[in-house]
Amino acid sequence: MIKFENTYTDLPEILYSSEVPDTVQNPQLLAFNKELASDLGISLSDLDDKDLAKLFSGQVIPDGASSVALAYAGHQFGHFVPQLGDGRAMLLGEVKSSQGKQYDVQLKGSGRTNYSRGGDGKSSLGPVVREYIVSEAMHFLGVPTTRALAAVSTGENVYREQPLPGGVFTRVASSHIRVGTFEFLAARGENDSIRLLVEYCIQRHFPHIANEEDIILKFLHEVAKVQSKMVAHWLSLGFIHGVMNTDNMSISGETLDFGPCAFIDNFSRGRVFSSIDKNGRYSYGNQINIAKWNLSRLASCLIPLIGEDEKEAITLLENSINSYLDIYESDRQTKMIPKFGLFESTDKDSDVVEKWLDYLESEDLDFTNSFRALSGDLSNFKKTPLFDQFHELWTDRLSNQAQDLDEARALMNSSNPIYIPRNHQVERAIQASLSGDHSVMTQMNELLKRPFIEQTDFEEYKKAPLENERVTATFCGT
Ligand code: AMP
Ligand code: MG
């Protein structure tokens, strides 16, 4: 039983379109997230795998589900596209978690919609496996993210450069409202609908500001806060989203759309993985600037709602956006300093962080393993002048805090993961799944539930890729 609510369809009709998922030949369940289902009050214990496969490929629409595709626009690599939308996804409806929080349940890859443009509305199995593994790993690393409820293979091929097995992914999100949803309305001059959407977002994501004055500015500020936290967390783990277009930036501050994303291995601030990101727009080190740029796009949609005087509205919104980098600086400290065993931040800490990153970059070192090694035997690090400079700053900080070294090490080990979904391993899981073996995906999903804890028999997953295993480019999730 899934008890759906459908509050999104109470919004203006321009924002969605009713759809029916495609029929598929032979749906098979590859993964089902029982714990998440139970958190969401979804009780399906009377269903076997066959029934679940039918349900999570859209062959059976549960009672009370809405089945709609959502409209949005977006800036893609800086260029505005006024009409995007769920071209291969359908929202079944919303459910309430055990904590009373509302979540969307969405099928991805379930067929063409009103917004499919030239696309087939389908998904190949590769992106389904990638999103399942990486989004769940992000959750267990503590990063705000959408989640994976189910993965199903359809038994049909989809046609990309070559025929590939098709799949449907079931995504759970706090909502699917994006910066691009606002841009969609703004491009059409739908100011009343923008106001309704702001109210809806506040009710759903930021109820604590519902009764405040200057609500539009407050709303922008709340979005800035949650997005800043998310990006700070990404950077602290070496995560590169890969395609931070405004249509992939969630208003709720959850990591959304795992297309050409990757965790960095050998560290470089300019690293990109997306094969289409030729200019490094979405590189590791540029993610915060882009988050700010995306927020400015949201701010520009809000101008008509601030008041009569457009110039004054722009100034107010600009001031709000300009405070973003300060918010971010503080979030970055909060996320970074525990990785060095530091309990309270001081104004010297960004030197510690930057020197360390300089060292990793200059020695081409693995980001995750190097951080984890900070709590161990430091003699394994090559002693270069950069290392010495970092070490001096760092030990000075460690010796001037109240906590002892054991406490510092414990903090480091709870902030620096041992296991991340390494690119080459995700790729291995995808290749195995494409040939019908889903055991690698299952194993990774289990392992990555405890990323900070040593687990025997999983040595392989700790290792940085060998030269010939390195994945240098990932592709969009189509
Ligand atoms: P993404 O790169 O996944 O963020 O997708 C960008 C846009 O392309 C969204 O509007 C998607 O719905 C749409 N899209 C991606 N793949 C397909 C597909 N196979 N069929 C239809 N639309 C698609
Ligand atoms: Mg997208």
Strands 68-70 and 16-18 come out as: antiparallel
Angle, alpha carbons 6-11-14 (nearest 5°) = 120
> From the CA of 258, how far away is ligand 2's center (Å)?
8
State the 10-residue block means of pLDDT for the chain, 478 residues long.
93 98 97 96 89 96 94 97 98 94 98 97 97 98 98 97 96 98 98 98 98 96 97 98 97 96 96 88 96 97 94 94 93 97 94 98 98 97 98 97 98 98 96 96 98 95 91 66
Quick one: pLDDT at residue 276? 85
Q: How far apart are CA 308 and CA 206, in angstroms?
A: 26
Q: What is the DSSP string of 324-378?
A: HHHHHHHHHHHHHGGGGT-SS--TTHHHHHHHHHHHHHHHT-BHHHHHHHTTS-G
Distance 184 CA to ligand 1 centre (A): 16
265 is an active site residue? no
**What are phi and psi for residue 179, nearest 5 degrees?**
-55, -40
Q: Ligand 1 site: residues with CB under 6 angstroms? A: 84-88, 116, 119-122, 243, 247-248, 257, 259, 476-478
How far away, in angstroms, is 125 Cα from ligand 1 center?
A: 15
Catalytic residue among 86, 104, 247, 331: 247
**pTM of this structure:** 0.97
Residue 393 main-chain phi, psi, to 5 deg = -60, -45
What pLDDT score does 477 carry?
Answer: 52
Residues in the chain: 478
- Return the ligand number nearest the Cα of 81: 1
The number of the ligand nearest the C-alpha atom of 176 reads 2
Residue whose CA is closest, atom 6 of ligand 1?
84
Which residue has its alpha carbon closest to ligand 1 atom 12? 87
The helix, strand and coil proportions of the chain, stated in percent and rounded to the nearest 5, come to 45, 15, 40
274 vs 94, 312, 323, 431, 477, CA distance in Å? 32, 39, 30, 19, 11
Start-to-end Cα distance in the chain: 30
Residue with CA closest to ligand 1 atom 16 = 478
Q: Which ligand is nearest to the CA of 87?
A: 1
